[in-house]
Amino acid sequence: MLTVEKDPMTPKNRQSLILAASLATLAGFAAIPASAHSPYLLPNGFALDKEDHVTVEASFSEHVFVPTVAMLSDDFHLVGPDGKAVPLKPVAMRDLAMMEAPLPAEGTYRLTSGERQGRVAKAALIDGVWEFVDPRRALPAGVTPVDMQSITKAEAYVTRGKPDQAALAPVGKGIEYRAVTHPSAIRAGQPAEFEVLFDGKPLANADVEVEAARAGDVENVRLPIVTSDARGRFTVTAPEPGLYFAMTRHRVGAVGAQPARSYTYALTYSVTK
């Protein structure tokens, strides 16, 4: 199962019983440096015809696409075929947040949580790899833990009518995938190509974890981990049609007054015949 450090981020100026319940759920994991919760956005359709909107679910989950803790964000938005961003207003429940995204014109749309700043926890650089650490853990000699903040972003693409390219343009901040193969053109048995970017530049040697969704209590199917090449490129070949989830994590040390950060990017996409 994919893992991502838990993230009790709350939107500014949001106070509600729903939020309190969500934080209480997360609190049970507070002593664990990394939990089995993965972030995702799930639209109720990917290839649309005359529909003028799409409904989107946002959650953290131990079993991807089975919601566990509602995802909250100050920056949910939709990027349309004109390249402009439209804010989305979620309705938060305990297990998930829901929102409607308008699709006023034909073309491809990017649904995104935006960058979500999460909790700060202790991490250490051990054998060249950043790891979250339990405060009770004995660290190797000379290794000093630092504060590390989690940053998550979850995205998905939907297309009304004929697909286009404008919404696929990278943001250039944090970690993200650039879809080389258009998300509407991903077919089972054929390689789909993406590029991992960090602050707008190709990120080499980044691991990509991919799951094929299975309903209910059936365990998702994990595809072999793939790694981006020197150009940040990677390909995934889905064995069959269905719903897929890809995730990459990238951790960086502190820069000036900015603490060390753990970035997580998650993409939901559909594969057809």
pLDDT, one tens digit per residue, over 172-207 is: 999 999 999 999 999 999 999 999 999 999 999 999
CA distances from residue 162 to 84, 178, 214 in whole angstroms, order as listed: 18, 19, 29
> Is residue 136 scored above 70 in pLDDT?
yes
Cα distance between residue 267 and residue 246, in whole Å = 5
Cβ atoms 248, 195 nearer than 8 A: no
pLDDT digits (tens, 9 = 90+) for 123-132: 888 888 888 8
pTM, two decimal places? 0.84
Of residues 134 and 69, the one with the higher pLDDT is: 69
**pLDDT tens per residue, range 67-96:** 999 999 999 999 999 999 999 999 999 999
Helix (H) or strand (E) holding 17: helix 17-27
Q: Which residue has the higher pLDDT, 24 or 239?
A: 239
Residue ranges per structural domain of the chain: 17-271
